[in-house]
Amino acid sequence: MFDSTRTLYDKPRTVCDCLYPGEVTGKQFTSVWTRDPRPAKSPGRSRDEIVRAAVELLDAEGLEGLSMRKLGARLGTGATSIYWYVANKDELLELAYDDFWGEITLPEPTAQTWQQTVAAAAHGMRRLILRHPWSGELIGRMPSLGPNALAFAAVLRRTFKLAGFAGLEIDYANTTLTAYVFGMTIPELAWNKSKADGGYDPDTMREAVTKATAGIPELTESIHNSWDLDPDQVREMAFSFGLGAVLDGLEARLVT
């Protein structure tokens, strides 16, 4: 399913590569999830402790700030104990990424409540991506083979099946949902990062936007109506509005 040569920063395989694996050359794909976890190495740290520390470091410094040396220093054990559990940084990120998915709790779906479960999944993903900005850089680039990610995916598939979707339509409905969530949230991450890095002065930005949209009444009205509102609340409302539209559209597909 995944490119045997792929690391975190490589391009993904094409569909043709997946259909004709004999034509693909390269190393075998490996994952921390394809082997049994090693027992805790005394007097070193356990794998769970290492993952928690890695997530804390990622939250504080992002992907660029994560290194075995920094993590070892944070744990007070050195990098050697970390390599007992993972072969490289990518495997460490796999563990951290699955820990991310484990933070989402979904209600058990039924045929009558499928929209509530899907909405909980969407809001949960958005909330966690914003809480852990580094996760946005792993989405679509790192395989999610851990137990938390697979359990989350299984609940979503079961939800769409209970709703009435069948066959590939289950995957299409799932993809529609995740594409909406990621499409709305990833740009928000970029904006939050720009603010954290200093951002733009709001007064000069407003002046520039007002000048640029002068003579376009539709845009001028929009700016006038929203400029003084809390931007976080506006984004939350916009996300909820769009999610409602997605759910309405999916439901409409079931009755056509």
Interatomic CA distance for residues 81 and 41, integer angstroms: 8
Q: What are the residue ranges of helices labelled H in the chain?
A: 15-19, 47-61, 68-75, 89-101, 114-131, 147-163, 168-196, 202-212, 217-226, 231-254
The answer for 14, left when phi > 0, alpha when psi is -120 to 50, beta otherwise, is: beta
Q: What is the dihedral of CA 187, 189, 190, 193, to 10 degrees?
A: 160
The candidate with the shortest Cα–Cα distance to 133, out of 71, 195, 175, is 195
Element of type H or E holding 64: none
Angle between helices 68-75 and 89-101 (to 10 degrees): 60
**CB contact at 8 A, 124 and 105:** yes
Tokens of 180: 């909406």
In the chain, the domains with their CATH numbers are: 31-101 (1.10.10.60), 114-254 (1.10.357.10)
Tens of pLDDT along the chain (256 residues)?
333 333 343 433 333 333 334 444 566 778 899 888 877 766 667 889 999 999 999 999 999 999 999 999 998 887 888 888 898 999 999 999 999 999 999 999 999 999 999 999 999 999 999 999 999 999 988 888 999 999 999 999 999 999 999 999 999 999 999 999 999 999 999 878 777 667 677 778 778 888 888 888 877 777 777 777 788 888 999 999 999 999 999 999 998 6
Measured CA to CA, the distance from residue 183 to residue 168 in angstroms comes to 22
